[in-house]
Amino acid sequence: MDVDARLELATRNALEIVTVEEMRALLETNPNPSAYIGYEPSGFVHVGQMITASKVVDLQRAGIDVTVFLADWHAMINDKLGGDIGDIRTCGEYMRDCFLALGVSRSTKFVYASDLINRAEYWERFIRICKASSLMRLKRAMTIMGRTEDEAELDGSKVMYPPMQVADIFQLDVDIAYSGMDQRRAHMLARDVAEKLGWKKPIALHTPLLMSLKGGERMDPAEAKMSKSSPDTAIFMHDGPDDVQRKLKNAFCPPETEANPVMDTMRLLVFPMLGSAKIDRSTKFGGPVEYSSFEELKEAYESKSLHPMDLKKGAADAINKLLEPVREYFTANPENLEKVKALTITR
């Protein structure tokens, strides 16, 4: 595969690459570069992570070694699952299952934060990062963990989170830091620190965030993103066909295509992963229809030739199709999912 083909795979469907020129140079000079993406093990995985999992697959196909970083200590700092590190690690094993079910290579490295924090050089990096950053900058970056700056006044551990996330990048020695757009501040902090300390500057790769089914503030995608904390407005990997149909039937779906979570689902999941959208509607309303591109679907919806209820049904059918291999995986490997279900019942 030539550099252009590898670059197209590595960057397609991305919202931002900092920078494309650095990515091209990396692929031209390194046949096997490295990347990482980090997750807090903190509960059920929702379909928004199909976006990141499919990008991990893209990176792997482009010849890039990807580490999936399971940030157990970060989740503890962030008060997830009651701060119980054992429960958080149980959730990490379930998350590993989810990514394997979504097609991530079985050769993928899954690394826990616990694997890094017992090394003296990790904490040396952490201290150097703190010394190269102002407290104000670190507190601003706390939005990566869904926290406000003021929360550091109540719990000082919260301000440790951003420099730990940056330390992870350098300790793993990766060429590319990948995430959704909600983690952008951590990656920009890492690039700034690298310049100051003369360390290897990571390329930052960011993909879009899937909108909550309740809609949200279009000016702040991170606030509007799908979240496990709102179960009726998120579609989870373990949801059955009826759950998916119900949740999308009740989803916010305005006449406009902007800030429309059902259209967002079509744009970010259905078309990139299935290539087209089939909508099985009654002959009374024009019969079944298939759209070969999101632009074609958008035009039909804006012209009102496609009804919101038909759009919702088409989205539900497509998501159920995408979830079929995940359901098959968990039917064959139910143990970790059942453990996390037990945790969420008692937490």
Read off the pLDDT of residues 305-340 as tens digits, 9 standing for 90 and up.
999 999 999 999 999 999 999 999 999 999 999 999
Does residue 102 sit in the same domain as residue 249?
no
CATH number of the domain where residue 251 is located: 1.10.240.10
Question: How many domains does the structure of the chain reveal?
Answer: 2
CATH number of the domain where residue 129 is located: 3.40.50.620
Does residue 230 sit in the same domain as residue 203?
no
pLDDT recorded at residue 345 = 54
Decide: pTM greater than 0.85: yes
pLDDT recorded at residue 275 = 95
SS3 for 67? Answer: strand
Does residue 90 sit in the same domain as residue 234?
no
Compute the C-alpha angle 49/265/140, nearest 5°.
Answer: 55
Does residue 264 sit in the same domain as residue 342?
yes
Residues in the chain: 347
Q: Is residue 214 part of a domain?
A: no
Q: How far is CA 41 from CA 162, 174, 333, in A?
A: 17, 21, 18
pLDDT tens figures, 205-230? 999 999 999 986 554 555 578 877 67
pLDDT recorded at residue 145 = 66
Place of tokens 């993406």: 37
Q: Structure tokens of 251?
A: 């989803």
Segment holding 171, helix H or strand E: helix 161-172
What percentage of the chain has pLDDT greater than the value 70? 93
